[in-house]
Chains A and B, each alone.
Chain A
């Protein structure tokens, strides 16, 4: 049972990390243009930038 003493805080910390990451991504505008993001992956932008 002593494993719980480590595992529970670790689980909570990782979960909290996920929450913080989500809120960060929300704030940085990554959910602003979901439609555009879906199309961007199909774009041919392989040409080297000059």
Chain B
């Protein structure tokens, strides 16, 4: 069967192939004779796509329903078993322009996120229900209900509040118990203590028919705190699912050649040392190995940062993650799975992560002082009241009132509220922060290290010289270049398209791996490729540019020179970072001349070239030892250990899977300005979070003396705690104000990026 041709943005792509027993794990039963399968389709990111996919797939024979989840960019299809095959659905999606691969929520950990979110939301709903009803009863008590009526209302409140506290308070209780077990104190300890004491004291008072019960305080507290907790969760879940959408669309596996010459497809994890695999042009290597037949060019940029492809022939060593550019190869696997160069880097990364001292979030740092202070104040109140000759009962009541009023409601909201608003703002500028800690760390950064290829540059070469090439020559060269996947060939074709030229059709195109292309046109021989291939002498001054020579018959040859083009705004970003008081370094695995030129263009003074992954790691470590807080920005597999070692790290969305996983922040789009924007917003966030702390502490300074004096009635407590929470939230909203990096262009960028997620994915 010939597969339908699918193109997106002019790029051809192979639709995902569902093969082997593996296919079953994506399919679930959805009723008698009905099956359900879910796909991830990164292009399904706009409302038109939703309508388009749903109507198109829905019209297919055997499709019961097709539903797009726009948030997750997923498509869920329920189909009649036997009438239509899942493969047909993938092919159909490919034809209408959506790359799709089957999606298993388990593989990304999204289900776990969803479950946690669901738990928090249910707890929030229960506490909200309890808070509103108890508050209703409390208002009646405050307005003057007395004796039997008051007791009845207190009992009713207890019946609602106690189960609600037991259910909705669990996230805090578990966390507090876990912290105490480890001998630490976090914010959840005073929270749990405050809520539980308020509940038990109120129950005791209700038994005795006393005047004051604090049931409303304990459930309202829980409601506010859960709201903060849920917002915090929402922020992390949103970034995580956005990153999960970028998962490689290419099938992870290879075509194995058996001893009898038969070919079969095997998943990457089933590859073993000694197997022979066929690697087509345009495929990534699934494992380390030695070339046994074929000659080709390999793009190693994700592994080494080297922008020029390298020629390989039988006997050459190749590594997992390299991209085969020009001709099919047969590779004998020498290392697979855990033994590859890639896994070596993963081990380095894990070691780097462990050696890094664990970051403690601001709120937890504060909790270390806060909890002892609060508990001391409560103890002082108890002792003070006893000394003043009050009875046990009144003294304990006063002490508990102190604990209730200091229960860090505003403090619990102070940081998450600000961070949620900030991450929402960054999300709109296409920057995805994995969690709040990353945002806090970003604010403290004092050194930024950029990788070159793919980070400061776009990772794709562009024609820079000669600018005055004749139209005929370029159109002819592009006609030749069309047949090749070599990055320089593709750059030539792009350039021709950009100038509105149609590549001239030529005959007899042959690609000679490691050399170039040959063809005929009007009985003249055409050659495109290295200088040696076209018989051109080496230039006297090698400026380190990538080159292709082009020769048409006996005429004088042309030399095309290419450069890995900088991201737009790269120079502006660097100067903006410098004015923000940050040191900027360039750390690349590429040749010195190429690195030097980029460093000069964007005005980075400290540039290091030819750095190995270990070298990068050592460089970052050395800076960290010198007390610098390093933000590592990189995309390649070779950057991964350095990303893990940095104080914090960023990666473009086009990065390798491993780079994206290692980085704490991912930015989409073409512009490098996202780096400066993220630091700016994080600093502002930090400032407002600190203000919030100030407000929360100020509230305590006012409220605690009242509580110690025994003047806090349930009414005062309710008003004080609600007001402080609302003030803190209102202040947090200020982060969202001010200039956002033009959302419209950021959106365009994001869409553009999402259209080519498979482009630079490795292994």
Contact = CB atoms under 8 A, between A and B. Distances in A.
A26 to B, nearest CB: 6
A36 B68 contact: yes
Contacts of B72: 32-33
Contact of A32 (B50, B71, B132): B71
A15 B71 contact: no
Given A40-B50, A43-B51, A35 B129 contact: no
A15 B50 contact: no
B50 A19 contact: no
With a 10 A CB-CB cut-off, give which of B125, B126, B149, B160 has the most chain A CB atoms: B125
A22 B133 contact: no
A34 B70 CA distance: 8
Nearest to A39: B47
B70 A36 contact: yes
A35 B71 contact: yes
What size tier do the contact residues of chain B reach? 20 to 34
B47 A11 contact: no
Given A1-B149, A12-B160, A23-B125, A34 B133 contact: no
B121 interface: yes
B125 A22 contact: yes
B701 interface: no
A45 B160 CA distance: 46
Interface string B302-322: 000000000000000000000
B156 interface: yes
Contact of A39 (B70, B129, B156): B70
Given A12-B160, A26-B118, A26-B122, A36 B129 contact: no
Interface in A14-40: 15-16, 18-19, 22-23, 26-27, 31-36, 39-40
Contact of B47 (A15, A31, A42): A42
B497 interface: no
A23 B70 contact: no
A16 B587 CA distance: 60
Given A34-B71, A39-B70, A19 B126 contact: yes
Main secondary structure on A side of the interface with B = helix
Contacts, number: 50
Contact of A33 (B70, B136, B149): B70
A45 B298 CA distance: 50
A15 B129 CA distance: 7
B149 A36 contact: no
A15 B125 contact: no
A46 B720 CA distance: 53
Contacts of B465: none
A9 to B, nearest CB: 10
A21 to B, nearest CB: 10
A12 B71 CA distance: 36
A32 B160 CA distance: 30
Interface in B1-57: 47, 50-51
B133 A12 contact: yes
Given A15-B132, A18-B129, A19-B129, A26 B121 contact: yes
A26 B126 CA distance: 13
Nearest to A18: B129
Contacts of A42: 47
Given A23-B122, A36-B71, A11 B129 contact: no
Interface in B671-716: none
Given A1-B149, A15-B132, A26-B118, A36 B125 contact: no
Nearest to B51: A43
B47 A16 contact: no
Contacts of B136: 11
Nearest to B160: A12
A6 B751 CA distance: 58
B69 A32 contact: yes
Contacts of B51: 43-45
Nearest to B70: A36
Contacts of A4: 149
A8 B145 CA distance: 15
Nearest to B152: A4
Interface string B128-163: 010011001000000000000100000010001000
B635 to A, nearest CB: 28
B617 to A, nearest CB: 39
A5 to B, nearest CB: 10
Contacts of A18: 129
A36 B118 contact: no
B358 to A, nearest CB: 34
Nearest to A8: B156
Contacts of B50: 36, 39-40, 43
Contacts of B126: 19
A30 to B, nearest CB: 12
Contacts of A35: 70-71
B675 to A, nearest CB: 27
B659 to A, nearest CB: 27
A50 to B, nearest CB: 9
Given A16-B129, A39-B50, A44-B51, 15 more contacts: A11-B136, A12-B160, A15-B132, A19-B129, A26-B125, A27-B118, A31-B121, A33-B71, A34-B71, A35-B70, A35-B71, A36-B69, A36-B71, A43-B50, A43-B51
5 contacts: A16-B129, A18-B129, A26-B118, A36-B70, A40-B50
Q: Which 4 A-B pairs have the closest CB atoms?
A: A36-B70, A39-B47, A33-B69, A19-B129
Interface of A: 1, 4, 8, 11-12, 15-16, 18-19, 22-23, 26-27, 31-36, 39-40, 42-45
